[in-house]
Amino acid sequence: MTMQASAATAAHRDESRSRTFSLRDVQAPLSLLLTTVGAIAVIVGSYTAWATFYAGLVQRDGVSGHGKYFIALAVASVLASAVSTRRGLQSMRWIVPAAGAAIALIAGRDLRNLYALQDDPAAAWYVVGRGDGLYIVIAGALLIAASFLAAPVLPTVRRAHIAAAAVAVSAIAGVGMLIAGVYGEYYLHLASGGHAHNHTQALQSAHILTAAGGSLLFAVFTAAIYRLGGAARANRP
């Protein structure tokens, strides 16, 4: 009887430990950490020189080009990874590998174009060189995409959570669009020496992204205020 009691006590202790610690408790923070590190790498790489000209005398980063979109996607991936830890919003995690793959593919194409420019005899006068920026961006993007592998298994999305998921997607998309739009507005109005292209092109992508991102965030904010107001009225005696 004593041995049976000891065995039962040990089994109960092991069961208690399994209840207090779960692999899911480690997977979600690890996935968010990997996504964040990858996003930081993408941002740093976007600000690092992508190409050099005249034997390194002139350097160009990617923020005025695709870099601003990479930064927006990187921030959106971190937000999606963080939101996906909430109950009922685990499906938001699918945004993370999609964003990482998009960044890696576009940055890879930019790098291929840079290689082609280096090999172009017509550009020999400019003494084109490669910077480290695109390599850092691609490494960060691959880390963002790989962070999905560390995430817990996705449960089935319930119908009751569809509305919350739609709000989360709208908020993440709004932040991403607004970041890219603000970067574009800066280079359109300030860095380019004024509104240089506004009178030659009817619609600028920067204006569209800024307006769309701001509208989405305003809609999410309005919905949140309306929901809070409804909850307050329901709890009113």
Convert the pLDDT of each residue in 40-56 to its tens digit. 999 999 999 999 998 87
Asked if residue 31 is part of any domain, the answer here is yes
Q: Label each residue of 103-114 as H, E or C.
A: HHHHHHHHHHHH
In a domain, 18, yes or no: no
CA distances for 200 relative to 61, 65, 196, 236, angstroms:
26, 19, 8, 57
The values of phi and psi at residue 235, to 5°, are -85, -5
Examine the pLDDT at 152 and tell me if it is beyond 80: no
At residue 86, the 3 state secondary structure works out as coil
Does a structural domain hold residue 207?
Answer: yes
Backbone phi and psi for residue 168, each to the nearest 5 degrees, phi listed first: -65, -45
Per the structure, the complete domain to which residue 144 belongs is given by 27-231
In a domain, 158, yes or no: yes
- Asked whether residue 105 is domain-assigned, the answer is yes
Domain count, the chain: 1
User: What does the pLDDT read at residue 29?
Assistant: 83
Q: Tell me: the pLDDT tens digits for 162-182?
A: 778 888 899 999 999 999 999
